[in-house]
Structure 1
Amino acid sequence: MDGDEGGVRSVLRAIDLIGLFTEHRRMWSIRELTEASGLAKTTVIRLVTTCEQRGLLWTREDGQVTIGPGLLRWAKLGHAAWQLSEPVRQVMRELATQCGETVNIYVRSSTARVCVAQHEGPQHIRHVVRVGDELPLWAGAAAKVLLIGAESTVVDRVAALSPHGKEFADELRKQAGLAAVDGHAVSHGERELGASGIAAPVVDREGRIIAALALGGPTTRFTDERVADFVTAVVTSAQWISRLGLDPAL
C-alpha cells in the first residue's frame, strides 16, 4: 500500500509540475521549478527526467525546461475528444449573435469548472475566458448550475477553497437550489468585478446535468431588461443542446 501511495504521489507531483507551464510562462529553469513547486531540487530533477523519457517535458541546450513534443499527440486527442458537433456549435453561434455576448460551455471537474467550448461575441469589449481555463465553483452563474445536485462533500470542499471559508457551504447549497428551481442562474461581479453571467443546465438523456451553457460579458451590458431576454435565450439554447447531445465527450 505504501508503494502504491508513493506512486500516486509521484504522478500527482509530475502533473502539478507540468501544470506550471502556461501560454505566458513556457520556459522554466530547474531552480525556478523548485521554488514554484515547493519540492526538493532532487525531486524536481527526477520528475523532469521521468517526464522527458515520455516526451512530456523537454530540456533545451541552455538548460531551460519546456513542454515536450509528446504532448502534441495528447493535445490532438483532447481536441478530438471534446470537439462539439456542428449542430451544437451552430446553437452557440446563434446565441452569441442574438445576444451579442460570448457563449461558453463549462463542465465540472472535481472542485472546479472547466471551459470546454466557446463562441466569442461580436463586441470589442468582452469577458475573456479561454477554452481549457479552470475557474472556481464558488462563484459565477455556471458554478451555481454545476453545483445542482452535487454531493454534500463536494460543496463543502468548494466552500473551503473560497475566500469566504467553509461556512459558505450553506450559501452555495442555497444558490444551487434556486438555480434548480428557476432553471437558470445569474451572477454579477462574483468572481471578477464588472463581469456578469447567465447560465442554464445542459442535461443528458437521463436528465442528469452534464454541463452549463453560459453567456458572459461586462455588467454594464447586463441590465435588468436585457438579462430577462438573455435568460430566455440561454435556457432555450441549453434545451436545444440537451436534445442534440454533447457527444463524443459527454
Structure 2
Amino acid sequence: MQRAIDLLGLFDESRPALSVRDIVSASGLPKTTVLRLLGTLRANGLLWVDEHGRYLVGPALLRWSRLAEQVWRLPPAARVVLRDLAVEHRETVHLYVRRDVHRVCIAQQEGPQSLREVVRVGDELPLWAGGAAKALLLDAPESLLRRVAETSPHGIAHLETLRAWLDEARACGYAISHGEREEGLSAVAVPVRGRQGAVVAALSFGGPSARFGDERVRCFADGLQGAAGELARAGLPFEV
C-alpha cells in the first residue's frame, strides 16, 4: 500500500502526466513492481492513461477531493478572519496543521502585494524550520522533536536548535523565522489552541524578509494572536 501511495505522490502540478519510464526512474522500483501497482491503481480509478500512454491522476480522486474539501473547509466566520487579516496587514495568511513530521497548509488568504510567498492549500512543508513549524511544535514531546530534527539537513544535531527556537517562541508568545527554509523569506506565526488548550493549528504571515522588520513583526504578531482567538471561538472543522 505504501508503494502505491508513493507512486501517486509522484504526480504534481509540474508533472501531471508520467510515462512508465518516468515512474520507474522516479520511484526506484523494479519495472515489474511498478506495472503491477499501476494496474491496481488504474483498475480502481486512481490513475488514468491518456492517448499517449502516459499516466494521469484518475477520476476516482475527484470524489475523495470533494470529500476532503467538505471535511477541511473552514466555517464562514473563520474564512472572514483570514480575509480581514490579509486586508489589514497586506500579507498572505496561512493556516497549517501538523501531519507527523510535516505541516500541511489547509487554508490561505493571499495578500494584495504582488511579491509574496507562494504556498498553496494542500502543500506539505517540513517541520524542522519556519515560523509556523515552531508554533505547531510548542507543546511537542521530546520524542517528536527528535524525529523532526532527524529529518532536517543537519540531522539530530538540529535538536538543540529546535529547543532554543521553541524556548524563544514561548517567551515571546509567537514564533518568527528569517531565511530558515528559503533565503529571503520570513514568517511570523502563532498557535491556534483547541478546546482543551492543545495546539491544533498554526496561523502565520509569510513574505519577503524586507517587509518583516522588528516593528512590523510585533504588529503582525498582535494581529495573529487576536485572530487565533477568533478562530478558536469560531471552531475548526477538524478539531476533536
Report the counterpart of residue 167 of structure 1 in structure 2: 157
Secondary structure of the 1:205 match is: coil
Opposite residue 31 of structure 1, the aligned amino acid is R
Report how far residue 248 of structure 1 moved: 4.6
Whether 1:72 aligns to 2:62 is: yes
TM-score by structure 1 length? Answer: 0.93
Q: Kindly tell me the number of residue pairs found equivalent between the two proteins.
A: 240
Gaps in structure 2 of 5+ consecutive residues: none
2:142 corresponds to which of 152, 156, 159: 152
Q: Return the alpha-carbon distance in structure 1 between the equivalents of residues 158 and 46 of structure 2.
A: 39
The answer on whether the counterparts of 2:47 and 2:55 sit within 8 Å (CA) in structure 1 is: yes
Which residue type is aligned with residue 193 of structure 1? E
Which of the residues 89, 108, 117 maps onto 2:79? 89
Cα distance in 2 for residues equivalent to 1:51 and 1:151: 37
**1:215 is aligned to 2:205:** yes
1:5-20 to 2 correspondences below 5 Å: 11-20=1-10
Q: Is the 8 A contact 2:200 2:239 kept in 1?
A: no
Structure 1 stretches of 4+ moved >6 Å: none
Paired with 2:49 and 2:28, the residues of 1 have a C-alpha distance of 20
Q: Secondary structure at the match of 1:210?
A: strand
In structure 1, how many angstroms separate the alpha carbons of the residues matched to 2:31 and 2:239?
Answer: 38
1:47 to 11, 29, 37: 37
CA contact (8 A) 1:84 1:248 kept: no
CA distance in structure 1 between the aligned counterparts of 2:234 and 2:167, rounded to whole angstroms: 26
Partner of 2:15: 25
- What is the deviation of 1:59? 1.7
In the alignment, which of 193, 214, 225 is matched to residue 203 of structure 1? Answer: 193
CA contact (8 A) 1:82 1:249 kept: no
Q: Does 1:181 align with 2:171?
A: yes
Rounded Cα–Cα distance in structure 1 between residues aligned with 2:150 and 2:210: 31
2:234 is equivalent to residue 244 of structure 1 = yes
What is the distance in 2 between the residues matched to 1:207 and 1:15?
34
CA distance in structure 2 between the aligned counterparts of 1:243 and 1:177, rounded to whole angstroms: 27
The amino acid that maps onto 1:59 is: V
> Partner of 1:103: helix, strand, or coil?
strand
Deviations 1:79-116 (A, max 9, x none): 11110001001111111111100000000101110000
Q: Which moved more, 1:164-173 or 1:109-118?
A: 164-173
1:214-243: per-residue Cα shift (whole Å, max 9, x none)? 011111111111111111111111111112
Q: CA deviation at 1:249?
A: 5.7
Deviation track 1:99-157 (CA, whole Å, cap 9, x = no partner) reads 10000000010111000000000101111111111011011000001111212222112
**1:62 and 2:52 matched:** yes
- Which sits farther off after the overlay, 238-247 or 49-58? 238-247
Shift of 1:53: 1.3
- The CA distance in 2 between the partners of 1:228 and 1:61, in whole Å, is 55
Cα distance in 1 for partners of 2:156, 2:98 equals 19
CA distance in 2: counterparts of 1:48 and 1:172, whole angstroms: 40
